[in-house]
Amino acid sequence: MFKKAIAKSSAKSPWIYHINTGSCNGCDIELVAVLTPRYDAERFGFKLAGTPRHADIVVISGPVTLQSRDRLIRTLEQVPEPRCIVTLGSCPQSGNVFKGSYSVEAPVENFCDVDVAIAGCACKPETVIEGLYKAATLLEEKRAALYKKEKEAEKK
Protein backbone atom coordinates (compact mmCIF):
# COMPACT_ATOMS: atom_id res chain seq x y z
CA MET A 1 0.00 0.00 0.00
CA PHE A 2 2.71 2.45 0.97
CA LYS A 3 4.85 1.57 -2.06
CA LYS A 4 1.96 2.41 -4.37
CA ALA A 5 1.33 5.76 -2.64
CA ILE A 6 5.01 6.68 -2.75
CA ALA A 7 5.31 5.72 -6.41
CA LYS A 8 2.22 7.75 -7.33
CA SER A 9 3.35 10.85 -5.46
CA SER A 10 6.96 10.75 -6.68
CA ALA A 11 5.86 10.46 -10.30
CA LYS A 12 4.42 13.97 -10.16
CA SER A 13 7.61 15.80 -9.22
CA PRO A 14 10.98 14.63 -10.50
CA TRP A 15 13.79 15.96 -8.36
CA ILE A 16 17.01 17.08 -10.00
CA TYR A 17 20.48 16.76 -8.55
CA HIS A 18 23.21 18.73 -10.32
CA ILE A 19 26.85 17.64 -10.44
CA ASN A 20 29.56 19.92 -11.81
CA THR A 21 32.47 17.76 -12.97
CA GLY A 22 34.74 20.60 -14.04
CA SER A 23 32.70 22.91 -16.23
CA CYS A 24 33.27 26.58 -16.98
CA ASN A 25 29.88 27.29 -15.29
CA GLY A 26 28.18 28.40 -18.52
CA CYS A 27 25.80 25.44 -18.50
CA ASP A 28 25.37 25.66 -14.73
CA ILE A 29 24.09 29.21 -15.09
CA GLU A 30 21.61 28.10 -17.75
CA LEU A 31 20.32 25.31 -15.49
CA VAL A 32 19.76 27.83 -12.71
CA ALA A 33 18.06 30.19 -15.18
CA VAL A 34 15.63 27.42 -16.12
CA LEU A 35 14.54 27.15 -12.49
CA THR A 36 13.94 30.90 -12.05
CA PRO A 37 10.53 32.53 -12.65
CA ARG A 38 11.40 33.59 -16.21
CA TYR A 39 11.50 30.02 -17.57
CA ASP A 40 9.84 28.37 -14.54
CA ALA A 41 10.68 24.70 -14.99
CA GLU A 42 8.97 24.11 -11.65
CA ARG A 43 5.64 24.34 -13.46
CA PHE A 44 6.52 20.91 -14.88
CA GLY A 45 7.30 19.65 -11.38
CA PHE A 46 11.10 19.88 -11.49
CA LYS A 47 12.76 20.76 -8.21
CA LEU A 48 16.36 20.76 -7.08
CA ALA A 49 17.27 18.07 -4.58
CA GLY A 50 19.76 18.83 -1.85
CA THR A 51 21.15 15.33 -1.78
CA PRO A 52 21.62 12.60 -4.39
CA ARG A 53 19.61 10.21 -2.20
CA HIS A 54 16.45 12.20 -2.98
CA ALA A 55 17.13 12.69 -6.69
CA ASP A 56 15.33 11.15 -9.66
CA ILE A 57 17.25 12.93 -12.41
CA VAL A 58 20.99 13.64 -12.23
CA VAL A 59 22.26 16.51 -14.39
CA ILE A 60 25.99 16.41 -15.10
CA SER A 61 27.84 19.43 -16.51
CA GLY A 62 31.47 19.70 -17.49
CA PRO A 63 34.13 17.28 -18.67
CA VAL A 64 35.05 14.64 -16.12
CA THR A 65 38.32 15.74 -14.55
CA LEU A 66 40.74 13.60 -12.57
CA GLN A 67 39.60 15.27 -9.34
CA SER A 68 35.88 14.89 -10.02
CA ARG A 69 35.86 11.31 -11.37
CA ASP A 70 35.71 9.52 -8.01
CA ARG A 71 33.19 11.99 -6.61
CA LEU A 72 30.98 11.49 -9.66
CA ILE A 73 31.03 7.71 -9.26
CA ARG A 74 30.33 7.87 -5.50
CA THR A 75 27.50 10.35 -6.02
CA LEU A 76 25.83 8.26 -8.74
CA GLU A 77 25.95 5.20 -6.46
CA GLN A 78 23.81 7.11 -3.95
CA VAL A 79 21.01 7.91 -6.41
CA PRO A 80 18.18 5.35 -6.10
CA GLU A 81 16.93 3.36 -9.07
CA PRO A 82 15.15 4.09 -11.32
CA ARG A 83 17.06 7.20 -12.25
CA CYS A 84 17.89 9.23 -15.34
CA ILE A 85 21.30 10.64 -16.13
CA VAL A 86 21.32 13.85 -18.18
CA THR A 87 24.44 15.47 -19.60
CA LEU A 88 24.29 19.24 -19.93
CA GLY A 89 26.35 20.81 -22.70
CA SER A 90 29.06 19.60 -25.02
CA CYS A 91 31.74 19.09 -22.34
CA PRO A 92 30.38 15.94 -20.66
CA GLN A 93 29.77 14.38 -24.08
CA SER A 94 33.09 15.11 -25.77
CA GLY A 95 35.29 17.26 -23.57
CA ASN A 96 34.73 20.19 -25.96
CA VAL A 97 37.53 22.77 -25.66
CA PHE A 98 39.00 20.89 -22.68
CA LYS A 99 39.55 17.70 -24.69
CA GLY A 100 43.15 16.56 -24.58
CA SER A 101 43.90 18.45 -21.39
CA TYR A 102 46.07 16.68 -18.84
CA SER A 103 43.32 16.93 -16.23
CA VAL A 104 40.37 15.72 -18.33
CA GLU A 105 39.68 12.04 -17.78
CA ALA A 106 37.03 11.09 -20.34
CA PRO A 107 33.41 11.67 -21.40
CA VAL A 108 30.73 10.91 -18.81
CA GLU A 109 29.47 7.87 -20.76
CA ASN A 110 32.67 6.03 -19.81
CA PHE A 111 31.52 6.07 -16.15
CA CYS A 112 27.74 5.69 -16.39
CA ASP A 113 24.89 5.18 -18.85
CA VAL A 114 23.63 8.51 -20.17
CA ASP A 115 19.88 8.65 -20.82
CA VAL A 116 19.52 12.17 -22.27
CA ALA A 117 22.21 14.38 -23.78
CA ILE A 118 21.52 18.11 -24.04
CA ALA A 119 23.87 19.65 -26.60
CA GLY A 120 25.21 23.16 -26.75
CA CYS A 121 27.89 25.41 -25.34
CA ALA A 122 26.21 26.84 -23.34
CA CYS A 123 22.79 25.26 -23.70
CA LYS A 124 19.76 27.42 -24.32
CA PRO A 125 17.22 27.35 -21.47
CA GLU A 126 14.53 26.07 -23.83
CA THR A 127 16.77 23.15 -24.77
CA VAL A 128 17.43 22.40 -21.10
CA ILE A 129 13.70 22.30 -20.37
CA GLU A 130 13.12 20.02 -23.37
CA GLY A 131 15.89 17.68 -22.21
CA LEU A 132 14.56 17.56 -18.65
CA TYR A 133 11.09 16.82 -20.00
CA LYS A 134 12.51 13.91 -22.03
CA ALA A 135 14.26 12.65 -18.91
CA ALA A 136 11.03 12.86 -16.90
CA THR A 137 9.18 10.88 -19.60
CA LEU A 138 11.92 8.27 -19.63
CA LEU A 139 11.83 8.14 -15.83
CA GLU A 140 8.10 7.39 -15.92
CA GLU A 141 8.76 4.51 -18.33
CA LYS A 142 11.50 3.13 -16.10
CA ARG A 143 9.23 3.34 -13.05
CA ALA A 144 6.42 1.55 -14.89
CA ALA A 145 8.79 -1.23 -15.94
CA LEU A 146 10.09 -1.56 -12.37
CA TYR A 147 6.54 -1.63 -10.97
CA LYS A 148 5.57 -4.31 -13.48
CA LYS A 149 8.66 -6.35 -12.56
CA GLU A 150 7.83 -6.09 -8.83
CA LYS A 151 4.22 -7.18 -9.49
CA GLU A 152 5.44 -10.25 -11.38
CA ALA A 153 7.84 -11.08 -8.53
CA GLU A 154 4.98 -10.88 -6.00
CA LYS A 155 2.89 -13.35 -8.02
CA LYS A 156 5.64 -15.97 -7.87
Q: What is the dihedral of CA 73, 77, 83, 85, to 10 degrees?
A: 0
- Can you give the pTM of this predicted structure? 0.85
Q: Vertex 111, ends 45 and 87: CA angle to 5°?
A: 35
Confirm if 63 and 90 have CB atoms less than 8 A apart.
no
Map out the domains of the chain with their CATH numbers: 2-155 (3.40.50.12280)
Per-residue pLDDT of the chain (156 residues; tens, 9 = 90+): 455 555 555 556 789 999 988 888 888 888 889 888 888 888 888 888 889 999 899 999 888 888 888 899 999 999 988 899 999 988 888 877 777 777 788 788 888 889 999 988 888 889 999 999 999 999 998 888 888 888 777 777
Report the distance separating Cα 31 and Cα 39, nearest Å. 10
